[in-house]
Amino acid sequence: MKKMSTLAFIMIMGISMMFGLTASANPAIVSYGGNYTRTIAEGETAYSFILPNAKTTGTSVKLSTSAVNSLQIHYYWSYNNTTIDLGTSTVSGTYYNGGSGYYQPGTLVTVVERVSGSTTITPLSFTISFN
């Protein structure tokens, strides 16, 4: 059991360091059912959210913001020491509902970032939830 806990800790830290390069704030470890409100201030570009033990039957990701076409969501799936880039979705309205089911239990890493070239003024607030 101690070996499993150590392995999980090392995996989460590795993912945190990997996405720390793209996200200007420390990654947040999140859970199902929680609402997480963040603000991207001037000079910041993104926030990372790590959902360990994501459901293989489907994970719903919901995001709301007041600025249209200013945020995008980049997904990564990590399992068995493998990370898969699942792609990027632009939040084209003030509300986004996405997510997917995965064939292996693993960790879902969601990076919310400003759209490159977006002229929306800062700070830019959003609320994200995982269900």
Express each pLDDT in 24-75 by its tens digit: 457 899 999 999 999 988 777 789 999 998 887 878 899 999 888 889 999 9
Question: Do 32 and 131 form a contact (C-beta atoms < 8 A)?
Answer: yes
Q: Rg for the chain (alpha carbons), in Å? A: 15
Give the pLDDT confidence score for residue 17 in this predicted structure.
Answer: 44
pTM score, whole prediction: 0.75
Domains of the chain: 2-130 (2.60.120.380)
Express each pLDDT in 69-128 by its tens digit: 889 999 999 988 889 998 999 898 889 998 777 778 889 999 999 887 777 777 889 999
Question: Do 113 and 19 form a contact (C-beta atoms < 8 A)?
Answer: no
